[in-house]
Amino acid sequence: MGDSSSRSGSRTMTQPPSQPTSTTKVETPANDPHSDRSHRPRTSSSASGASTTTTSSHRSAASLAKSALDFSQQAEKLAHHHAADNDNDADVPVEAHFITPHDPVVVTSEGHRIPGVPLEEAHKLNLLREELEDGPHVVQIKQEGEVKDEVGKPTARHSQSTDQIAVAPDQKSHDMQKSQSGSLRRQMPPSHTNPLFPPLPLYGPPSLLRDIQTLIFRFTSFWLSLAFLMVIVLGALFTSIPLVAKQVWYKLTLRNIDETRPFYAEEVKRKKARNDLNEKWKHNNLKKGLGPDKEEVADEYVPTEGGRDPIVCDPGYYARRVGLDIEEFHVQTEDGFIIDLWHVYDPKEYTKLSDEERQARGPHVFTESGKKLKDSTGKPKFPVLLMHGLLQSAGAYCVNDEDSLAFYLCKSGYDVWLGNNRCGFHPKHTILSYSDPRHFCWNIRQMGVFDLPALVSRVLRETGFEKIGLIAHSQGTTQTLVALAKEQRPDLGARLTVFCALAPAAYAGPLIGKAYFKFMRVISPALFRIVFGLGAFIPLMMTMHRLLPPRLYGWLGYKVFSFLFDWSDERWERDLRNRMFQFAPVYVSAESMRWWLGRDCFANHKCILATKEAVQAEEREDHHEGTGPHSLGAGDAGGAKGGAKGGASADAVRAQLDKPRGATAWYDERAPPFALWVAGNDDLVDGRKLLRRFENGREPHVRVVHSKVIPEYEHLDVIWAMDAPQQIFCELREVLWKTCHVRDLCRVPKGCEGVEAWDPRDKPAWPASDELQSSSSEETLSGGRGREQ
C-alpha cells in the first residue's frame, strides 16, 4: 500500500515570488518508514514581508474546534487509558501507522504502540488528524523532478494550495494508493475483508463497563474452559485403557512390549550411556568412557551441567549439558510486544553480551545497520533462525541432547537463533497489561506480519548479515507462509536465503473433523469468547505447569496432546519424553485458537490462504489431470469426492481449468527459495497438498530447492524422531549451505565440504514416490551416522 510511514518527513512552506498564495510542499523519503510524524506546517513570510497564511486560516474557528473535538474523541476511543485516568496526559494517540495495508497500529505521542486496531477506526483517526492539520486539497506525485500524477477533490483541481510528494525512482506505483478524497497521506481502508482473516474485535481503553464485562468473561471462561479441559483429560486417560491392558498382557506372558518399538535397541543403548555419564559427572570425570559415538564430541564440547536430569523448563540448561550455552535477547515488535530470542553459542568461540546489549531496541525493523558477533575465530558462521509450532516454545528444538536440531546445527557450524512468538511463557508488552484484552487480541496474521520480521531483523542486526536461513515447524511454517504472501509482507523474502518448512501447515488434515474440534467450529464467535474468554487460551494449563511436578506434568502433557492430535512417541526416545513437554503449552490468545479452530477461518476453509471453494476446485482439477508424484491419481477418488461433496460444481471446475496456472498464486517474485519435509503419516496437516500446489505450477514464482516425504513420520517426528538427524537434519544442513549467498565469507559447515551452490535456474527435483524417501528400520539410524557427522 502507500505505506503510511512514507507520508511523513519535513514540511516547509514555500512562497513563490510571483504568487501571493501559499504552497505546501511535502518531501517524502520513500524508504524511510519511521520518520517523525509530529511535524506541523510552518508559515513563512513573503518577500515583501506580508503575512502568508496556510489553508487552515481560511476555515472558521467553529470548524476547527469541531475537527479538534472529533479527533480528540477518536483518539480517546483508541487510547491506552481514558484521559481522566491517564497519569501521563501527554501520551495520547497521534496517528495510525500501517505496517501493511491491513495491519495498523496506533502510535502515541510518546512513541508507544497500541495493537488490535480495526482498519476503519485506524483510517478514521488518520483522516480526522488530516482535517485538523488542514491538509492540502491537491496532491502531486513527483518522481525525478517530474509530476507523474495528480489527485485531489474534483472541486479543488484548480486550487492554489498544492501538496507535492517526492518518491524515489525505484518505488513502484502500487506502493502509493489513491483515495477519492484526494489525499495520499491517509488511504481509505480496503474495500473488502479477506474471508480467511476476519476483523478482530475492538477493545477500547479501560472503563468501568469494560472492566465488568472482562470480569464476566473471565469468570465464565474459567469454568467453561476448565470443563472443556477436564473432558479432554478424561478422554485421554480413558483412551489409554486399551494400551494399559495390552502392557499388562505382555507382562503376564513374560514379554516386553517395548521391544516392538522401531528403535528399541538404540533407546536401551542411549539410556545406558546417559546413566553412565551421569555417574561420571558425580565424580568429575567427564572426559572418560562417554561411549563410542560421544568421545570426539566431548573433547570438543565440554558440558558444564550434568548429572540426573531434573527436567526443567530452561533451554540454557540443556545446552550446557552438551557443551553449549544460550543467551536471551528481548525483541520489540512493531505493535509493541516484547518477545524472546535465544542465541545458541559455543562458549569457547563467543563472549556473551551484557544485559543492556540484549534488551529490546524499539519497534522499528530493518533500519539499523548490522554489527559483527564477537567471534574469536576467523570466518563467521552463517546465521539460521528456527521458529516453533503451535502451543510450543523454541525449547522444543533443545530437548534431544546431541540430536536436538538447535544443537545439531550449532555444532555443524551454523550460528543458531531460536525465535519465540508473542506471549510465550511470560507475556510482555510495552504498555498493555496482562489483564487488558488488547494484549491477546491477535491471531496468526499478527504473528507473521509482526513477530517474524522483528525476529529476523534482530538476527540481521546482531550478526551483520544481509540475509539469514529460516527453519520453521508446523505453526511456524504457517506464519511464514502468511507473511511471505504477496498481500501480506512479501518484502520479508528479500531477507531470507531459504525457507525450510518442517511438517508445513498450509492445509488441514483429516484430524480437523474430530468431535472436540467440531465443537469449536460449530459455536459462534460470541459463544467461543464466552467459553474461552478474551485473553489467553485456557491459562489454567500454564498454572498447572508451575504447580505440578515436572515428571507428572510431562506424562500428562503427552497423554493430552497425543489424544488431541493423534500422534505417538513410537519414534522418539521415550526416556526424554517428559522433558519434551516442559516447553508446551505456552500462552496463546483465544483469538488465535479461534482462527485455527473456529467457524470462520482455518477449520472452515481447511487452508491458510485460500477459501474452501478455491481448494475444492483445485482438488477437482488435480484429479482431472492426475499428473505428478503428488497429484491425485485415478485411484485416489477421495479428494474428488470430497470436493464434490463440498460443493465444487462442474462450472467451478471448468472456470478453474480456464484460468492460467499462476492466476491464484499466493506469492510473487519476492518469495525466497523453499525446501519442504513432509510427514507422510500426519493427520493434523496435509503437506502433500502443498507439494502438489507447487508441483502443478500454481506458484510460478516459488523455487523449490528440496522436497521430501517421509511416509512413516507423524507431525512431531520431524524434530523429535530418533532418526531425524539422518532423515532430515543432515539434509537441512546441506540445503542451508547450498542456498547461502555469501559462501566465500562464511565458515564451511561440517559435512558440507562437497555441497555445491544452488543454481536458481535448476528445476525442482520432485521425488519419484514416497516409498523411496526413507526407511523405518533401525539400520537407517545406525547406518546414517557416517553421513550425519
User: For 306-321, how does the pLDDT look when each residue is reduced to its tens digit (9 = 90+)?
Assistant: 999 999 999 999 999 9
pLDDT over 60 (residue 294): no
pLDDT over 80 (residue 419): yes
The last residue of one of the domains, among 156, 183, 208, is 208
Predicted pLDDT at 765 = 59
Grid cell 530437548 in the structure block, residue? 399
In the set 309, 682, 686, 723, the catalytic residue is: 682
- The range of the structural domain enclosing residue 655 comes to 611-663
Predicted pLDDT at 158 = 45
Average the pLDDT over each of 172-186, 202-216, 618-632, 735-749 and give the range with the smallest value: 172-186
Which grid cell is 155?
472541486
Predicted pLDDT at 741 = 94
Average the pLDDT over each of 132-136, 308-312, 340-344 and give the range with the smallest value: 132-136
Task: Tell me the C-alpha distance between 179 and 175, whole Å.
Answer: 13
pLDDT per residue over 427-451, tens digit each?
A: 999 999 999 999 999 999 999 999 9
Residues 156, 258, single domain; the answer is no
Residues 228, 345, single domain; the answer is yes
> Bigger pLDDT: 339 or 776?
339
Residues 555, 569, single domain; the answer is yes
Residues 66, 203, single domain; the answer is yes
Task: Tell me the C-alpha distance between 46 and 123, whole Å.
Answer: 35
Q: Fill in the DSSP letter of residue 729.
A: I
Under 8 Å between Cβ of 281 and 307: yes
pLDDT over 50 (residue 642): no
pLDDT over 60 (residue 207): yes
- β 162-167/11-14 pair status: unpaired
Which grid cell is 341?
530470542
pLDDT per residue over 538-548, tens digit each?
A: 999 999 999 99
Residues 340, 352, single domain; the answer is yes
Grid cell 500524477 in the structure block, residue? 149
Average the pLDDT over each of 169-183, 202-216, 698-712 and give the range with the smallest value: 169-183
pTM listed for this prediction: 0.82
Give the total number of structural domains in the chain.
3
Q: In what order do the strands lie in the sheet with 93-100?
A: 93-100, 103-108, 113-114
Interval 638-653 mean pLDDT: 48
The last residue of one of the domains, among 157, 175, 208, is 208
In the set 474, 589, 631, 707, the catalytic residue is: 474
- pLDDT category at 146 given cuts 50, 70, 90 is low
Task: Tell me the C-alpha distance between 641 and 69, whole Å.
Answer: 59
Under 8 Å between Cβ of 306 and 336: no
Residues 238, 110, single domain; the answer is no
- pLDDT category at 482 given cuts 50, 70, 90 is very high
pLDDT over 50 (residue 401): yes
Q: Is 97 a catalytic residue?
A: no
In the set 343, 388, 439, 715, the catalytic residue is: 715
Q: Is 682 a catalytic residue?
A: yes
pLDDT over 90 (residue 256): yes
- Paired with 587 in beta bridges are 424
Predicted pLDDT at 618 = 86
Residues 100, 201, single domain; the answer is yes
Provide the percentage of residues in the chain whose pLDDT is more than 90: 58
> Cβ atoms within 10 A of the Cβ of 194, count?
15
- pLDDT category at 733 given cuts 50, 70, 90 is very high
Residues 93, 198, single domain; the answer is yes
> Cβ atoms within 10 A of the Cβ of 168, count?
13
Report the largest interatomic distance among the alpha carbons of the chain, rounded to a whole angstrom: 109
pLDDT over 90 (residue 626): no
Residues 431, 454, single domain; the answer is yes
pLDDT per residue over 60-118, tens digit each?
A: 677 777 878 888 889 889 998 876 665 555 688 999 999 998 899 999 999 999 998 88
pLDDT over 80 (residue 254): yes
> Bigger pLDDT: 134 or 281?
281
> Bigger pLDDT: 318 or 637?
318
Task: Tell me the C-alpha distance between 123 and 117, whole Å.
Answer: 10
Could you tell me the CA-to-CA distances from 531 to 499, 527, 593 in Å, in that order?
37, 6, 12
Q: Fill in the DSSP letter of residue 305.
A: -
Predicted pLDDT at 31 = 40
**Which H or E element spans position 652?**
helix 650-658
Residues 357, 372, single domain; the answer is yes
Predicted pLDDT at 169 = 47
Write the CATH number for 422. Answer: 3.40.50.1820
pLDDT over 50 (residue 183): no
Residues 176, 144, single domain; the answer is yes
336: three-class secondary structure by DSSP: coil
Q: Fill in the DSSP letter of residue 308.
A: S
Residues 369, 260, single domain; the answer is yes
Interval 675-701 mean pLDDT: 95
pLDDT over 90 (residue 295): no
- Paired with 473 in beta bridges are 502
Task: Tell me the C-alpha distance between 620 and 618, whole Å.
Answer: 5
Instruction: Evaluate the omega torsion of the peptide bond into residue 660 and state whether it is cis, within 30 degrees of 0.
Output: no
pLDDT over 80 (residue 698): yes
